[in-house]
Amino acid sequence: MNQYAKASAPTGAVICDLRSDTVTRPDAAMRAAMAAAEVGDDVTGDDPTVARLEITLAERLGKEAGLFLPSGTQSNLVAMLSHCGRGEEVITGRGYHVFKYEAGGASVLGGIVMDPLEVAADGGLEPAAISAAVKEDDSHHPVSRLLSLENTHNGKAVSLARIERAVTAGRAAGLALHLDGARLFNAATALRRDADEVTAPFDTVSVCLSKGLGAPVGSVLLGPVEFIARARRWRKMLGGGLRQAGVLAAAGLHALEHHVTGLAADHARAEALAGILRGLGAGAVEQDSNMVFFTPDSPVNARLGAHLAKQGVLIAAGYAGPIRMVLHRDVTDEALWAVQNGLTEFYG
């Protein structure tokens, strides 16, 4: 499955965009917060709003320090470069973003080896597989250095017990622990836990502000002070040092303050959409947190995508296999009715 499958172009106004939760647009209140932001040159450490975002999220997630970055991909890349040297290894999941959807950046730019493991049905990794993947100290092998997990994975909120078992296996082998928490707050919401309980087992965490939280740009990498100092140099080297970034950080702060509680409503709408799809009896339906996966019984993907596009509903339908539909704060109940109408018409 490619979660970035191409969508059909809409022919009129877009009523509902389910391609991803990255399509959210900053609302008036967020734009006002951005316009009012105090700023400075963040490369020289002079932007008070960026500093406030980094400190706020570090405190909220129980880590020492934070670093604002332009994207989640750069945040994960900087994390892996800061954890691992050339010829050192990241153990992760075959379907996890750091392995599958970041263009192999850690290997291309850092000479870092990736050992991808099968991801279990619940989105976690098997502790025994982690232990078996750790290489012994032998000149034939790369040096196993980091275990990188993901939560949520394909919408699945991996349970704390499950994470704990994987982390224990990693720690026993002396690995550092990184969490790709692009949708950390969706995970915490789905697990009914505080976000810092989800991040507690990890040395470092990457969080996206530009997905369900609704900010236009930005991720934050959290970890120990000396780690974040190294990460700051890598960010500069990769071209991620931004100047008056406080206008962006203000959007992130606004999102953290006002948009986290709304994630539960996105999850409820995802459940409602799953119910609608199940009612059609036209394929397999899976739903976790803000994501719905619909696998049509017959390969109608492209036709369904084109039909919905005519109704102003965008999905990334691809040509076959599961269709991912993602709920987010710009999908209203009215928008969901447009989806229901479009689906009923197609299958009616």
Ligand X SMILES: *Cc1c(COP(=O)(O)O)cnc(C)c1O
Binding interface with ligand X (CB under 6 A): 71-73, 76, 97, 150, 180, 182, 208, 210, 219
Residues paired with 177 in a beta bridge: 147
Between 25 and 310, CB nearer to ligand X = 25
Q: Which of residues 8 and 152 has its CB atom nearest to ligand X in the complex?
A: 152
Q: Where are the beta strands (DSSP E) in 169-305?
A: 176-181, 204-208, 219-223, 283-288, 291-296
Q: Find the helix or strand (DSSP H, E) in which 184 lies.
A: helix 184-191
Place of tokens 């739903």: 287
Which residues lie below 8 Å from residue 125, measured CB to CB, with a gap of 6+?
Answer: 93, 117, 119, 149, 166
Considering beta carbons, is residue 46 or 286 the nearer one to ligand X?
286
Q: How far is the CB of 50 from ligand X (least distance, A)?
A: 17
Residues 6+ apart with CB under 8 A from 127: 165, 166, 168, 169
Give every CB contact of residue 168 below 8 A, 6+ residues apart in sequence: 127
> Are 177 and 149 within 8 A, CB to CB?
yes
Q: Which residue is closest to ligand X by CB?
A: 72
| C-beta closer to ligand X: residue 247 or 276 | 247
33 or 220: CB nearest ligand X: 220
> Rounded to the nearest whole angstrom, what is the least distance from the CB of residue 87 to ligand X in the complex?
24
Amino acid at position 81, single letter:
L
Least Å distance, CB 230 to ligand X, is: 20
Compute the least distance from the CB of residue 264 to ligand X, in Å: 19
Q: How far is the CB of 186 from ligand X (least distance, A)?
A: 10
Q: Identity (one letter) of the amino acid at 152?
A: T
